[in-house]
Amino acid sequence: MTKTATLKLGLIGDNIARSRSPLLHRLAGQQNGVEVTYDRLVPKDMAIGFDEIFDGCARQGYHGINVTYPYKELGAKKVEVDDPLVRAVGAVNTVLFGGLRPKGFNTDYSGFMSAYRHVMGDAATGTVLMIGTGGVGRAVAFGLAGLGTRRLHLVDRDPAKAEALAEALKSVAPDMEISIWVGAEKAAEGCSGVINCTPVGMVGYEGTPLAAGALQGAVWAFDAVYTPVNTRFLQDAGAAGLKVISGWELYFYQGVHAWSLFSGLGLDEAALRASLIKMGDAE
C-alpha cells in the first residue's frame, strides 16, 4: 500500500454507536501516512439485512470490513477461509475484499491470546469457565487452546451451541477436558479463570453474567465487552482480588492484527496504545 492511499473500511454490527474501532484504524493510518475512512454499518438503522450490507460493501469499494456481534458466524458463511483453525472457529471478524471471493479471518482468536499475555505473562490459565459460546466465545475458546488450557467449563443458554464448540475444539485440542454446564455459578467452582463472552454488561445490556460471590477463589477474569471498559463483572472481579483483563485489551489487539491484514503495514503498538488512552479510549 502506498503512503498516499485511502483505505475504505467499515464495521457491521448491532449496538456499535460507541465502537472505537473507527478511531483505532484512523490513528493506525496516521502513523503510516494513510487516509482511513471507517464506517459504522448497522442493519437495523439501515433497514436492510446483514447479507445486503455485506454484499454492498464489495460493490461500494470497501477494501475490508470488521464484523461484530451478532454477525460473526453469518460472516463465516460468506467468505473463503484459508486458515484451517479459523474454519474450525466458524466465525470471522475481519474480511478482505478484492479477490474472486471475500477472504475471512479471525483476529479475536489471536487478539485474545495477546491480551491474556499482556496482563498475565506466561502464567498458565488453569481451569477456565467461559460463559457464552457465540462468535467471540468460539474465538476465545480457540485462543484458550492456544494458551494451553487443559480444562474448560462452557455455559450457554443454548446447550447445543456449547456442544458444537466442544466438538470443534477437539480438532486442535484433543486432550482438553471440556464440560458443559447449565448454571454459571456451579460451573465456576474450582476455576482459576472466569470469562464473559456474552453481551451482558454492554451498554444496553446492563448487568453481569455471574454473581459476585461465584468469583471467590478465581485468579483472573476476562470480559469480552469493552463498552463500557469497566463492566460490573470486572468491577466485581477486581473487588474479589482477581487480575482483570478488559475487553479493551481484546479490542486493541484484534484491531492491531486486523490493521496488519487490511494494510500490510506495521504499527508502533506502544504509541497507538498511548494515543488511544490519551483520547480517553480506555476509560
* Residues labelled as active-site residues: 71
Kind plus residue range of the DSSP H or E element containing 207: none
Amino acid at 151: R
Considering just the CA atoms, what is the radius of gyration of the chain in Å?
18
Question: What CA–CA distances, in Å, run from 213 to 130, 185, 189, 210?
Answer: 17, 8, 11, 8
Query: Cβ(132)–Cβ(157) under 8 Å?
Result: no
Query: Cβ(199)–Cβ(69) under 8 Å?
Result: yes
Name the β-bridge partners of 95. Answer: 65, 104
The span from the first CA to the last CA of the chain, in angstroms, equals 33
* Backbone phi and psi for residue 220, each to the nearest 5 degrees, phi listed first: -145, 160
Question: What CA–CA distances, in Å, run from 31 to 9, 55, 174?
Answer: 17, 30, 42
**Residue bearing cell 483505505:** 7
Query: Cβ(139)–Cβ(89) under 8 Å?
Result: yes
How is residue 16 written as a grid cell? 456499535
CB atoms inside a 10 Å sphere around CB 5: 16
Question: What CA–CA distances, in Å, run from 60 to 44, 56, 79, 210?
Answer: 19, 6, 17, 43
Amino acid at 72: K
